[in-house]
Amino acid sequence: MTTPADAGSALAGAGLAATLSEALQDQSLERFERHRRVWAQNRALRVLNATLYERVARELPPRARGRWVELGSGPGFARDTIPGMELTDLVRAPWLDGQVNAEAMPYDDGSVGALVLFDVLHHLPSPRKFFEEATRVLAPGGRVVMCEPYISPVSYPVYKFFHDEPLDLSVDPLALEAGSGPARDPFDANQGIPTVLFGRGRRAFTQAFPALSIARVQYMSGFSCPASGGFSHGPFLPWALWSLLHRIDGAMPSALMRWLAFRMLVVLEKA
């Protein structure tokens, strides 16, 4: 099953040269266009992701800090929820504002107010290189705001056995140095990276990037996430039932969501 975590993540992440082979460019663009068609037909998927983007928007710093940039925008769904944010991706697409590599961003030091990654971190070949770049380009008080898959006791079997992206919780995300270059598929992924990095790997992250404080980690989206059907299936429930489930998810206490959530929000702030 392809969940909302697949919506956009052909991130600028296939190596330092922000280029793809033409075959991968065409393949990725075709996937984006397919996701845009599914998006238009799946009301539950739109509502689910709009809720998540609204949560992301609440964590953005004032625009006076600098430009807001989304990396790995893919199909461009953020446009409806966060107007004025620059949408970028490694893949060229007519609805995006630019082509940007997350590991070699074309921004001046201290010039960016916010970097938004929506289902992108777990696609990066080297998260370390991205966070080094984020430290460089963010202005003081600037933020990295990420919405990613969360591997909870409840979500684990869904992501492990019913999702088309691999899941490996044994990795050290900061040690990853995946192959890069025009032949690397930007959709290569490990859904476990965010959970590991900001769970048991949290101390290692803070030691590696002392300028990026972890301002918030929040667990979100319970059963309404897989019930939306994602991008590979229609909703598994009638709209009225799905909408009720979505409202129940939103009312769940945070202590319970730690055990059953499917998504996580991570907010980093530059000192």
Other Cβ atoms closer than 10 A to 221: 30
CATH label of the domain that carries residue 75: 3.40.50.150
Name the packing angle between helices 22-41 and 43-57 (round to 10°): 110
Element (H, E) at 264: strand 263-270
- Sheet of 67-71, strand order: 98-99, 86-89, 67-71, 112-118, 138-149, 263-270, 212-220
- Tens-digit pLDDT string for the chain (271 aa): 444 444 444 443 333 344 788 999 999 999 999 999 999 999 999 999 999 999 999 999 999 999 999 999 999 999 999 999 999 999 999 999 999 999 999 999 999 999 999 999 999 999 999 999 999 999 999 999 999 999 999 999 999 999 999 999 999 999 987 655 666 888 999 999 999 999 999 999 999 999 999 999 999 999 999 999 999 899 999 999 999 999 999 999 999 999 999 999 999 999 9
Dig out the tokens for 118 from the structure.
């929506």
Q: What is the pLDDT of residue 70?
A: 98
Structural domain boundaries enclosing 260:
4-270
Q: How many structural domains is the chain composed of?
A: 1
Buried b (16+ CB within 10 A) or exposed e, 80-115: ebbeebbbbbbbebeebbebbbbbebebeeebbbbb
Q: What pLDDT is stored for residue 184 in this prediction?
A: 80
pLDDT value for 6: 46
